[in-house]
Structure 1
């Protein structure tokens, strides 16, 4: 079996330098030495012993990522975030174990338990709640939560959902709309509820609707294309239908646009539509979808780097709230940008 010493002899370096190259640290290595070591690894077919490495470092070099929907079927946010997180983890020498809780709290707890049995070095929880008891068991384990409330010993990253809902609704108000419906997911889901708060605040400030009328402008459904379609049908089939819709996700907004078309309504002439997420698909609807864009890749990079920092340097938990930005397209009545490159 080829050993680290064999690689060092061929590369003309010490075994420690070989270790630094393979483990990407902890000490820097000159580019020339790095190239010699990598060439020797390739020539000799050296494969580090992962078990021995874990025993020495007391790490498994794995991260557990649990999402409420890792397939992206309910929202493109999950798939894009997961891919960006895995890319950063790979660059830092970590593998990612992925669990899909399917929005089932018991299944989420089961994944937490199984991942900890496999000695993952840390956890990323994407809109996945954990019980008080489970959170207490994770004290001392690096954990980053995404878009969910978290205990003080977890790091928490989120986008400013309320401000995003406010921005979207204010923009629709600026187009002259006063009866703006909210195509909502389950309101007990933290981001959905916060986006509703922003929608409500904007309408209050504009004097657009009295409190008593706001309930008639909200309809809850699944966080999916189908959920947006069904929810928008209910809102747009009313005699006093809204003239604009703000959806809690881009998928719901796209479903709402199809519902409008099936009812013979034109977007944006008869009903304006805005979404939330900044999904890539939003640029390819007809008309293009106005949306509140989340910095998904930036959030994923920050989440992974925060977790690695906690694993390798025992960094303290952090809370970071990211800003979202309004991207205007034709669905609200703004000029339609051209995609031809």
Structure 2
């Protein structure tokens, strides 16, 4: 075994072949006899030859980099939802010897003005886009013909890894129905986001499946606002002003639920005795709330891991290993309800 770093020239000399033949064998390309292939691999093994990653990527016209893009206001929120997703992509990338380059884009994205540098310079082999971004950005990405996977967002023509939003919402509302609640509000914002819209559909579906008729007056939504804690505070005030107050509320995410909780507690109401609350995402703040929040748990790291794995499949030149290479493909990740004090069991209500 050589004690110094061996080169591809050393392997070629030991195997009695040309450097180009060694390259073909190590990159599993071209037509090389089985005897020659074994001889090259034996020489490389005995010399302890490790191909340079940079040289290998250059020969394959790859950078070894993956871009990760999300909106800057998503990244700067206090709850690190997308941070956990990013960690999941990073863990999976290591298994494929890839680097993940993170950048953010503004809400009011303008092509060329805000185009991420690694896209302008074509310094990535694939792209992951997390959360809602502008159609303008996605149109620009589509024109680049770069392998791309969306996370927690859906758009025509793009593969995506998403949460089972409808299923999670159904489970949350069914839980409240099992507690005896009949007047259950939905609290949401930004219905243009597919995840929020699907959670509203799951809410309605759970009511219909149990013989309830959804009441439009109980759908409290600010379509122009982001689903933040401040929006939840405002919608909590609207809940208080309803002529017949609901006994429970399913909120489209935990930030909204925590905002509603703050408003209700300030008004002197008890949770869950007066109004039970359920959120969605199970962020860290759910357990630290004044009343620990029941929430639908999203497996954030798994979203990132699956998205990276899916992207690698689409980047792989071997067609037999690209089951999702053509067209749109959506991977749905299940979630689960975590019950805490904000919706604890109470005496059943009489039927509405």
Q: Is TM > 0.5 for Structure 1 vs Structure 2?
A: yes
Pair 1:167–1:116, CA change in 2 (3 A): farther
Partner of 1:177: 181
TM-score scaled to structure 2, two decimals?
0.74
**Cα offset, 1:219, TM superposition:** 2.4
State the alpha-carbon separation in 1 of the partners of residues 209 and 203 from structure 2: 10
Structure 1 gaps, min length 5: 17-24, 28-32, 42-46, 336-341
Pair 1:64–1:246, CA change in 2 (3 A): same
**Cα offset, 1:265, TM superposition:** 1.0
Partner of 1:275: 279
Partner of 2:221: 219
State the alpha-carbon separation in 1 of the partners of residues 84 and 160 from structure 2: 19
State the alpha-carbon separation in 1 of the partners of residues 217 and 232 from structure 2: 17
State the alpha-carbon separation in 2 of the partners of residues 147 and 320 from structure 1: 10
CA deviation string 1:207-244 (max 9, x = no partner): 4445xx31443222422222222222222233322211
8 Å contact from structure 2 (residues 153, 162) kept in 1: yes
The alignment status of 1:92 with 2:104, answered yes or no, reads no
Q: Work out which of the two has the higher radius of gyration on C-alpha atoms and give 1 or 2.
A: 2
Pair 1:216–1:70, CA change in 2 (3 A): closer
State the alpha-carbon separation in 2 of the partners of residues 333 and 109 from structure 1: 51
Alignment of 1:242-253 (within 5 A): 242-253=246-257
8 Å contact from structure 1 (residues 66, 98) kept in 2: yes
State the alpha-carbon separation in 2 of the partners of residues 105 and 240 from structure 1: 43
Pair 1:180–1:109, CA change in 2 (3 A): farther
State the alpha-carbon separation in 2 of the partners of residues 76 and 134 from structure 1: 27
Structure 2 gaps, min length 5: 15-25, 29-43, 347-352
Which of 121, 132, 137 matches 2:143? 137
State the alpha-carbon separation in 1 of the partners of residues 265 and 198 from structure 2: 29
Pair 1:216–1:74, CA change in 2 (3 A): farther
**Cα offset, 1:193, TM superposition:** 0.5
State the alpha-carbon separation in 2 of the partners of residues 298 and 130 from structure 1: 26
TM-score scaled to structure 1, two decimals?
0.76
Pair 1:113–1:49, CA change in 2 (3 A): closer
- The secondary structure found in structure 2 opposite 1:7 is coil
Alignment of 1:297-312 (within 5 A): 297-312=301-316
Which of 194, 202, 215 matches 1:190? 194
Q: Higher relative contact order by CA 8 Å / sep ≥ 6: 1 or 2?
A: 2
The alignment status of 1:295 with 2:295, answered yes or no, reads no
Which of 47, 59, 64 matches 2:62? 59
8 Å contact from structure 2 (residues 186, 218) kept in 1: no
8 Å contact from structure 1 (residues 292, 327) kept in 2: yes
8 Å contact from structure 1 (residues 108, 130) kept in 2: no
**Cα offset, 1:102, TM superposition:** 4.2
Partner of 2:270: 266
8 Å contact from structure 1 (residues 180, 217) kept in 2: no
Report the count of equivalent residues.
304
Pair 1:157–1:247, CA change in 2 (3 A): same
- Does 321-330 or 223-232 show the bigger shift? 223-232
Alignment of 1:1-341 (within 5 A): 6-8=4-6, 50=54, 52-68=55-71, 69-71=73-75, 73=77, 76-106=80-110, 110-111=114-115, 115-127=119-131, 128-131=133-136, 133-134=139-140, 136-139=142-145, 141-152=146-157, 154-210=158-214, 213-220=215-222, 221-313=225-317, 315=322, 316-317=324-325, 318-334=329-345
